[in-house]
A = this chain, B = another copy of it.
């Protein structure tokens, strides 16, 4: 079992309750990363479902949970031949932190009937950049779990040269070697720095809704994350992330609506 598999474990108590232990290694400076939390939720949802894959997940983030024990509460809303729909709630000490609606189904290994290419071409890994390690006092532990190599202009904001539009792109894999699976994808769709950093904004950008679709099971190797946004207005912004696997397949699509940070 890898560190990531262990950190996302959900242990069945009964058909509607799973115990989890939120790992301090996925902190973004206090709050835990939303993608990591979705991975934990989805472990419970899939374990309780007759279907194998979390095809679509809509999560609303109410509060930022702390590392430590919690529960995932499940309510199976409908089970059919093709798909199961489940409501999942992440709870700590009786308080709800994330509410999600998840449809599980079983994806086959088939060629697509029609596919678009990536919306932006990525430079190869060797021409991409690592971010500097977070300062020890930052409380940011998430970065140590992942290897990310960024398309250089999209991290220009680090040196005071934002591109002026919301965008963020990187090659991604877990630091501990592990083939990507749907849970790694749940982490990946929320792993980029907020796209608004590239538009010149800073500060924690809390997600309100993150919806993502698993479109195919990823091949082993690097994932490519392409993040972009369309509108920053009235304190709200959208962030779209496409995830492509090493075989050139679109494996996940996400969109989140988040608040612009005040930092």
Is A115 interfacial (CB-CB < 8 Å)? Answer: yes
A63 touches B83 (CB 8 A): no
Is A96's CB under 8 angstroms from B77's CB?
Answer: yes
Judged by a CB distance under 8 angstroms, whether A99 is at the interface is yes
Residues of B within 8 A of A101 (CB): 58, 60, 99-101, 209
A9-55 residues at the B interface, CB under 8 angstroms: 55
Chain A at the B interface: SS class: strand
Whether the Cβ atoms of A236 and B215 lie closer than 8 Å is yes
**Complex CA distance for A213 and B208, rounded to whole angstroms:** 11
Whether B215 contacts A233 by the Cβ 8 Å rule is: yes
- Per a CB cutoff under 8 Å, which of B55, B87, B208 touches A257? B55
Please tell me if the beta carbons of B231 and A215 are within 8 angstroms of each other in the complex.
yes
Which residue of chain B has the shortest Cβ distance to A56 in the bound complex? B209
A134-149 to B contact mask, C-beta < 8 Å, 1/0: 0000000000000000
A255 touches B211 (CB 8 A): yes
Contact of A233 among B77, B110, B231, B232 (CB under 8 A): B110
Interface code A54-89, partner B: CB below 8 Å = 1, 0 otherwise? 011010101100000000000001100011010100
Q: In the bound complex, how far is the Cα of B255 from the Cα of A56, in angstroms?
A: 11
Pair A115/B250 contact, Cβ less than 8 Å: no
Contact A230 B250 (CB under 8 A): yes
Q: Which A residues contact B (CB, under 8 angstroms)?
A: 55-56, 58, 60, 62-63, 77-78, 82-83, 85, 87, 96, 99-101, 103, 107-108, 110-116, 165-166, 199, 201, 208-209, 211, 213, 215-216, 229-234, 236, 238, 242, 250, 253, 255, 257, 259-260
